Structures are given as structure tokens and as C-alpha cells.
Copies of this chain bind each other. A is one copy, B any other.
Amino acid sequence: MRSKFFNMSNAHNTKYAIGIDLGGTSTKFGIVDKDGNILEQDRIPTASEKPVDFFIDELHKKLQPLIDKIGGKEKFIGIGMGAPNGNVYTGNIEYAANLHWHGIVPIAHLLTEKFGLHASLTNDANAAAMGEMMYGAAKGMKHFITITLGTGVGSGIVIDGKMVVGNDGFAGELGHTIVRYNGRLHKQTGSRGCLESYASATGVRQTAIEFMENNPEQPSLLRKYSEMELTSETVYNCALQGDEIAQDVFQFTGEILGEALANFVMFSSPQAIILFGGLTKAGSYIMNPTKEAMEKNLYQVFKNKVQLVFSNLKESDAAILGASALVL
């Protein structure tokens, strides 16, 4: 009996999980223990223009040494992954707009095959929301929404302490909600005026380009950068230096984002909205106009109630932790 208990206890103490955050540009992964400590972490380019098998191979090359370092796959409970359009019910990535892999990708199955470990999948933004709920700004909250402002705009919705996945596992695609009738073309989907086409890193770059084109006489530090170099970070740096067009870009982006957030609040009446992703590095340049527009568009009963905050987790940690929580 003693040895049985000892083994159980030992098993309990030596189990880890792998958390993977598959993004449009790069994929971050980490080894997480049961207390939510990320022991090892690394990243690879997602490179979805190449076949998914190439991605799995690259991931394996980087991740297997980390697994071995911890003591081999026997020490692991499994793999949790967050990915765009990741379906918690099927384990497939299905028709993801920000990835070049087309149609349905059985990613959980491919991971299990390659690593010999159980793999669970969810939406990337849902993974981040789980991380926020367990370890971050939403700790202890039962009603909140997380919005990822990265390559795309993702979202995770928690109501009554439960992740909203809806009838088919795809709930919470708030980046694709329409915020400007007949507005900016979203190239990957063909839709017009969706939130993602404005409030993502890609959207901010597009806005900067449009503002420069529409004001050809106005000098701007932004004109020094090539289209490739224009990121939400370069726009932020120019805004910091007092560049008017750069500041206008955040003002415009925040107005649209805030209006969209108001609509989300009127749907589920959350305690907080938690923003994270590259765009949040712009700090008050993005926060102030967003907050103002959100409050302005809220119906009376919701005004001055909802906390709008940046995530306090390290950018990639929320998603890695949340993904690992799928199996831990």
C-alpha cells in the first residue's frame, strides 16, 4: 500500500503539460507545471505558407529537446494548443483566415501522432482567456471578455465562469464582427468593415498608410518607414515623438475599437474587458480613445461599470498557460 501511495504521489509531482500558442506569425510554446510556472519556453515562425507537416516537424525539432530535458514524455500529461479557429469539439483548425493552411487541419491529431502525447485544442483567444482567468487580470472574475490585438483580433468570452464556445465550438469571433458598414476590405475573408481590419497590427499599418496618402502635404515621421517596417510599434514610437498622423492613427483605431467593445458589453455585461497583444504596447495612446469611445456608445445602464484593462501577464504567457490548462 505504501508503495502504491508513493507512486501516486510521485506521479502527481512529476506531471507537466505543454502549452502551445499558434499565432498568425509565430508559434510560442512552453512547458508548464501544475502551479502555472512556465519552466521552458521557445518559439518558431508559424510559416503557414508551407504545408502543416513542415510546421509539425519544426515544432518537434525545438520542443522534443525540452521534453527530454524534463525527463521524457512519460512526465507529461499532454499538449494543449490554442490556435485561430481551433475547435475544442473536433481538435481541428477550421478555415482560419490568418493562416495559409486551407480548409480543415486536424492539428490535435497530428500533434498526438508526432509526440505520442494526448493533445487538446481550443481557439487561441479562448486559451488566452483561460490563462487570464487562472493566473492574470481576470483572476476571480466570472464575467469578462479578452480581446487580442495582434496580427488579427481574437476574443475569448467568459460568462458565469465558463468559456463561451456556443453550439459548434466557434463562439467568440469578435474580430470578424462588422463595425463599419461597407468599410475596409478584409483581404483574407472578403468581408467589409470588420473589427480586425481596423484594430489589428495589420489594420493599424493600413490606417497609417491611408492617413499618409490622404494627407500628402502633411510631414510625418512615419514617411521614413517602408510599408514592411510600419508596425504598431513604429507608429507608437512616432506618436511618442509628437507625430500628429501617428497619434491620429491610434485615435481612429481606438474610436472604432471602443465602439465595438461597447457593443460587446451590451451583449454579455461583463465586469471587465482585458486587452492584450502587440497593439497594447501603445499604452495610453490606444487605451484613452478606446475607453472614451466605449463609454460614449454604452447604453445608460452599462456606463462607468466595466473595467477596461491591459493584461498583466507577459504577452505570450497568457496563451501558453491557458493552452496548458486544457490538459492540466
Chain B residue at minimal CB-CB distance from A196: B299
Residue in B162, B167, B263 whose beta carbon sits within 8 Å of that of A177 in the complex? B263
Residue in B95, B162, B172, B297 whose beta carbon sits within 8 Å of that of A267 in the complex? B172
Question: Using Cβ atoms and an 8 Å threshold, which residues of chain B touch A167?
Answer: 142-143, 269-271, 305
Question: Using Cβ atoms and an 8 Å threshold, which residues of chain B touch A301?
Answer: 85, 94-95, 168, 170, 173
Q: For chain A residues 298-313, which have a beta carbon within 8 Å of chain B?
A: 299-302, 305
Specify how many copies of this chain sit in the oligomer.
2
Residue in B162, B171, B259 whose beta carbon sits within 8 Å of that of A268 in the complex? B171
Q: For chain A residues 167-226, which have a beta carbon within 8 Å of chain B?
A: 167-174, 176-181, 189, 191
A266 within 8 Å of B by Cβ?
yes
Question: Using Cβ atoms and an 8 Å threshold, which residues of chain B touch A172?
Answer: 266-269
The answer for the CA separation of A270 and B301 in the assembled complex, in Å, is 25
The answer for the CA separation of A268 and B173 in the assembled complex, in Å, is 9
The answer for the CA separation of A305 and B94 in the assembled complex, in Å, is 15
Chain B residue at minimal CB-CB distance from A299: B176
| Minimum Cβ distance to chain B for residue A157 (Å) | 7
Question: Using Cβ atoms and an 8 Å threshold, which residues of chain B touch A157?
Answer: 267-268
Question: Using Cβ atoms and an 8 Å threshold, which residues of chain B touch A94?
Answer: 301
Interface string of A251-293 (1 = CB under 8 A from B): 0000000010011101111110000000000000000000000
Residue in B263, B299, B300 whose beta carbon sits within 8 Å of that of A263 in the complex? B263
User: Is A267 in contact with B299, judged by CB distance below 8 angstroms?
Assistant: no
Question: Using Cβ atoms and an 8 Å threshold, which residues of chain B touch A297?
Answer: 178, 191
| Minimum Cβ distance to chain B for residue A273 (Å) | 12
The answer for the CA separation of A301 and B162 in the assembled complex, in Å, is 22
A35 within 8 Å of B by Cβ?
no
A66 within 8 Å of B by Cβ?
no
The answer for the CA separation of A166 and B302 in the assembled complex, in Å, is 11
Chain B residue at minimal CB-CB distance from A157: B267
* Cβ contacts A to B, 17 pairs, < 8 Å: A95-B301, A160-B162, A165-B269, A168-B301, A170-B269, A170-B302, A171-B267, A171-B269, A172-B268, A172-B269, A173-B299, A173-B301, A174-B266, A174-B267, A176-B299, A177-B267, A189-B300
Residues of A within 8 A of B (CB): 85, 94-95, 97, 142-143, 157, 159-160, 162, 164-174, 176-181, 189, 191, 259, 262-264, 266-271, 297, 299-302, 305
